[in-house]
């Protein structure tokens, strides 16, 4: 039997499920990027807000921008899916708690029905367009945040006819439709404007620096190319709140599907495993209202930037360090890597000795407790969070996770040895073969350009010159290109990784001053 509305009544008693009438849900959010994170984060907070007495006017229309896989899995379940909160009991045995989420109302697959996606954005009831499209979905230059006008999706979407089709044309499938997220957003907003509908909130939930502001810059740059008066309309009326989002959500495996099915007594084609921890700080600037997320523990604040920086630099910065070191050393998962005492010490010292001084003050934060909590989260043995998953798309992640922190340390003359080891680990990782001689694929939208930059750098006679040459890869290094202190620190770390290996290097970098 399959998970479905009519099967909810027969779920085991300890499985949480919608405690409201799903027929009262209205679609208020169009969400682009229906991956696991969106479902275990936005879906869960939205559900909790309804359960806490919030209005059910913000059901989600979920849009997959590429693959039909999520829609195909969840359509027979009428949008129901399970979130499996996983951790270990006091004896260290893995356990899970299941919740079936009900506020995903409809699913669209953009390449199959682009017109329906544009219409969803332009629907009178839509008040928020949210995005979890991963860093690379923004088609921006990672170091500067600027729109990449040479990006194939952007080039394609900018060629579409300017201005929105009239409402009467809306049912016709256009000969040309957008491909990228920015194209859908801007052309969807053009329709709203043409129909005299009010502006909406555009909310990024991705791990970008100042995600709202970055999205705003990209949407406005794109819109200005389409129609400057549209850009003015967006700028005047739409809001782009920044947010800090935090929950570890590993990719679902077949083993997860089996475990969840065994516990549900029903088959869910795409359950989502997640850690119990979740945290969301969002700026309370919503152009057309928002769900009662505050009832669900979301912190709706005037300025989220300090929380964002903390999270990107501490959680994601350490994650990326672990990913590149661990992938080279042959550790498969985050908990396996953090179980090595030297790795744990190294991450703790990177955070307390180097990252901490770059963070804006947060009077309510106990930083040491935050770090302890983070190391506990990483040690969760029930998640099996693969390091290769985190290692993906390094070119899009390094700037905000490690290099911004390094840049600030360098400008105040502070040492960066531990952060530089993470950067060196990424460079080492880019060779595509681990310490055991096992090859892997570099999964990165800039993989070809990175390979070319590496090859060019390799022609230099010394390691220091090779490192220096590679830092001129400006989409990642930006203004830090060729910075002597960074080059020195990275050369030392990379030399040690190459000659002594990951284990010995981490040991030295964890324990030296």
256-295 mask for ligand CS2 (x: CB under 6 A)?
Answer: ----------------------------------------
Write out the two tokens for 197.
């509908």
Of 322 and 502, CB closest to ligand CS2: 322
Q: d(Cα 200, Cα 390) in Å, to the nearest integer? A: 32
Of 31 and 466, CB closest to ligand CS2: 31
Task: Give CA 160 to chain center in angstroms.
Answer: 28
Please report whether residue 315 would count as binding ligand CS2 according to CB under 6 A: yes
Q: In what order do the strands lie in the sheet with 272-274?
A: 94-101, 81-88, 272-274
Q: Residue 281 belongs to what H/E stretch?
A: strand 279-283
Of 398 and 424, CB closest to ligand CS2: 398
Please report whether residue 246 would count as binding ligand CS2 according to CB under 6 A: yes
Residue that has been written with the tokens 């703790």 in this structure: 348
Q: What is the nearest approach in angstroms of ligand CS2 to the Cβ of residue 278?
A: 8
Task: Give CA 513 to chain center in angstroms.
Answer: 33
Q: Of residues 195-214, which lie at the interface with ligand CS2 (CB under 6 A)?
A: 207
Of 177 and 248, CB closest to ligand CS2: 248
CB 223 within 8 A of CB 312: no
Q: Which stretch binds ligand CS2 (CB under 6 A): 50-58, 104-112, 243-251, 426-434?
A: 243-251
Please report whether residue 86 would count as binding ligand CS2 according to CB under 6 A: no
Please report whether residue 316 would count as binding ligand CS2 according to CB under 6 A: yes
Q: What are phi and psi of 101, to 5 degrees?
A: -100, 140
Q: What is the nearest approach in angstroms of ligand CS2 to the Cβ of residue 221?
A: 25
CB 207 within 8 A of CB 312: yes
Q: d(Cα 455, Cα 27) in Å, to the nearest integer? A: 50
What Rg value do the Cα atoms of the chain yield, rounded?
Answer: 23
Q: According to CB under 6 A, which one of 352, 389, 460, 485 is a site residue for ligand CS2?
A: 389
Counting every residue, how long is the chain?
A: 513
Query: Residues with Cβ < 8 Å from 55, sequence gap 6 or more?
Result: 291, 292
Of 129 and 278, CB closest to ligand CS2: 278
Pairing of strands 279-283, 243-246: antiparallel
Q: d(Cα 374, Cα 499) in Å, to the nearest integer? A: 31
Angle at 141 between CA 140 and CA 145, to 5 degrees: 75
Of 268 and 393, CB closest to ligand CS2: 393
Residue that has been written with the tokens 């699913």 in this structure: 107
* Of 123, 6, 135, residue with least CA distance to 59: 123
Q: What is the nearest approach in angstroms of ligand CS2 to the Cβ of residue 470?
A: 22
Pairing of strands 104-109, 81-88: unpaired
Q: What is the nearest approach in angstroms of ligand CS2 to the Cβ of residue 323?
A: 7
Q: According to CB under 6 A, which one of 319, 349, 418, 428 is a site residue for ligand CS2?
A: 319
Q: Which stretch binds ligand CS2 (CB under 6 A): 185-193, 245-253, 283-291, 458-466?
A: 245-253
In order of 59, 169, 212, 280, 342, the CA distances from 311 in angstroms are: 28, 45, 15, 10, 23
Q: Which stretch binds ligand CS2 (CB under 6 A): 183-191, 193-201, 312-320, 497-505?
A: 312-320
Q: According to CB under 6 A, which one of 86, 127, 191, 247 is a site residue for ligand CS2?
A: 247
Q: What is the nearest approach in angstroms of ligand CS2 to the Cβ of residue 442?
A: 15
Q: Of residues 393-452, which lie at the interface with ligand CS2 (CB under 6 A)?
A: 397
Angle at 205 between CA 173 and CA 366, to 5 degrees: 175
Q: What is the nearest approach in angstroms of ligand CS2 to the Cβ of residue 320?
A: 7
Q: What is the nearest approach in angstroms of ligand CS2 to the Cβ of residue 401?
A: 8
Q: Which stretch binds ligand CS2 (CB under 6 A): 5-13, 154-162, 218-226, 240-248?
A: 240-248
Sign of CA dihedral 319, 60, 178, 203: negative
Please report whether residue 121 would count as binding ligand CS2 according to CB under 6 A: no
Of 187 and 397, CB closest to ligand CS2: 397
* Of 338, 219, 335, 211, residue with least CA distance to 280: 211
Q: Which stretch binds ligand CS2 (CB under 6 A): 217-225, 246-254, 255-263, 469-477?
A: 246-254
Q: Of residues 155-194, which lie at the interface with ligand CS2 (CB under 6 A)?
A: none
Number of residues forming the site for ligand CS2 (CB under 6 A): 10
Q: d(Cα 27, Cα 72) in Å, to the nearest integer? A: 20
Per-position DSSP letters for 145-214, written without gaps between them: --B-TTSHHHHHHHTSPSSPPPGGGTTSPPSS---SHHHHHHHHHHHHHHTTPPP-EEEE-SS-TTHHHH
Q: What is the nearest approach in angstroms of ligand CS2 to the Cβ of residue 421?
A: 17
Which residue is closest to ligand CS2 by CB? 319
Of 77 and 400, CB closest to ligand CS2: 400
Of 163 and 276, CB closest to ligand CS2: 276
Please report whether residue 382 would count as binding ligand CS2 according to CB under 6 A: no
Please report whether residue 248 would count as binding ligand CS2 according to CB under 6 A: yes
Of 119 and 206, CB closest to ligand CS2: 206
Residues that bind ligand CS2 (CB under 6 A): 207, 246-248, 315-316, 319, 389-390, 397
């Amino acid at each position: 039997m399959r998970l479905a509305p009519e099967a909810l009544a027969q779920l085991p008693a300890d499985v949480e499920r919608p405690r409201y009438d799903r027929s009262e849900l209205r679609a208020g959010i169009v969400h682009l990027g229906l991956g696991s994170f969106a479902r275990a984060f936005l879906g869960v907070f939205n559900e909790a807000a309804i359960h806490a007495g919030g209005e059910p006017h913000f059901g989600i229309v979920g849009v997959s921008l590429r693959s039909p896989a999520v829609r195909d899995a969840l359509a027979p379940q009428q949008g129901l899916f399970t979130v499996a909160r996983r951790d270990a009991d006091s004896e260290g045995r893995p356990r899970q708690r299941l919740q079936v989420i009900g506020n995903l109302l409809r699913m669209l697959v953009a390449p199959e029905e682009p017109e329906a996606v544009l219409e969803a954005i332009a629907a009178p009831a839509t008040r928020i367009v949210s995005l979890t499209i991963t860093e690379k979905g923004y088609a921006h230059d990672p170091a500067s945040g600027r729109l990449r006008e040479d990006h194939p999706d952007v080039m394609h979407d900018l060629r579409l006819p300017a201005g929105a089709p009239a409402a009467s044309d809306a049912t016709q499938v256009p000969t040309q439709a957008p491909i990228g997220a920015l194209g859908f957003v801007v052309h969807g907003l053009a329709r709203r404007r043409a129909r005299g509908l009010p502006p909406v909130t555009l909310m990024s939930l991705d791990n970008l620096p100042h995600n709202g502001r970055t999205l705003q810059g990209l949407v406005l740059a794109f819109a200005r190319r389409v129609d400057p008066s549209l850009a003015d309309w967006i700028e005047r009326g739409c809001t782009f709140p920044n947010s800090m989002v935090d929950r570890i959500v590993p990719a679902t495996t077949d083993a997860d599907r089996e475990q969840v099915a065994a516990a549900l007594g029903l088959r869910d084609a795409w359950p989502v495993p997640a850690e119990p921890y979740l945290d969301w700080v969002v700026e309370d600037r919503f152009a057309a209202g928002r769900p009662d997320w505050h009832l669900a523990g979301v912190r709706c604040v005037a300025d989220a930037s300090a929380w964002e920086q903390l999270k990107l630099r501490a959680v994601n910065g350490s994650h990326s360090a672990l990913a590149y070191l661990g992938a080279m050393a042959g550790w498969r998962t985050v908990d396996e890597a953090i179980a090595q005492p030297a790795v744990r010490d190294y991450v703790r010292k990177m955070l307390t000795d180097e990252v901490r001084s770059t963070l804006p003050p947060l009077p309510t934060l106990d930083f040491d407790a935050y770090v302890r909590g983070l190391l506990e989260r990483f040690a969760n043995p029930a998640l099996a969070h693969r390091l290769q998953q985190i290692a993906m798309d390094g070119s899009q992640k390094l700037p905000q996770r490690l290099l911004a922190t390094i840049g600030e340390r360098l400008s105040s003359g502070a040492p960066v040895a531990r952060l530089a080891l993470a950067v060196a680990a990424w460079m080492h990782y880019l060779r595509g073969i681990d310490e055991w001689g096992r090859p892997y694929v570099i999964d990165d939208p800039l993989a070809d350009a990175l390979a070319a930059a590496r090859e060019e750098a390799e022609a230099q006679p010394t390691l220091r010159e090779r490192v220096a040459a590679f830092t001129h890869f400006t989409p990642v290094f930006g203004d830090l290109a060729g910075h002597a202190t960074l080059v020195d620190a990275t050369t030392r770390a990379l030399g040690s990784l190459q000659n002594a290996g990951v284990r010995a290097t981490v040991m030295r970098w964890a324990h030296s001053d």
